[in-house]
Amino acid sequence: MSKNMPNDTRSPYDPDNIFAKILRGEIPCKEIYADDYALCFHDVNPQAPVHALVIPRNAYRSFSDFTTDASNEEICGFFRAVKQSVQLLNLEEDGYRLLANHGEHAGQEVDHFHVHICGGGSLGKLINKNNSSS
């Protein structure tokens, strides 16, 4: 179980979040890739022609506690799994985007660290200015 970071006021990891249930096999997913470090599956509500999620097998709420608390082996294994997933999705040649939301301003919905892989068509600019407050 990951530890809380100093100054981190968010609630502790919830073992009943939807991705924890997917990892335990309690909820199905469309699997793309799996190894000892990570699981990759299609997003249920795709925002791009190809939209997949990669999640670590252990309990981290977001990029922040993952990169603070996970071992070097876990971090390396996780990002190699992202790369494997990109290759399996055939996104190398035409390009893709990786994205990880942390916290309220980023609109993080599921508090189990995940990297979005988006591709399969032109993705436009990174930030939709119509959605951001100025």
Nearer to ligand 5GP, 73 or 106 (CB): 106
Determine how many CB atoms are found less than 10 A away from the CB of residue 49. 11
Q: How far is the CB of 105 from ligand 5GP (least distance, A)?
A: 12
Sign of torsion over alpha carbons 75, 59, 82, 67: negative
59 sits in the region (left: phi over 0; alpha: psi -120 to 50; else beta) called beta
Question: Least distance to ligand 5GP from the beta carbon of 106, Å?
Answer: 7
Closest distance to ligand 5GP from the beta carbon of 71 (Å): 24
Query: Which tokens sit at 85?
Result: 């997933």
Residue 50 found at the interface with ligand 5GP (CB under 6 A): no
Residues in contact with ligand 5GP by CB under 6 A are: 18, 27, 29, 41-45, 53, 101, 107-110
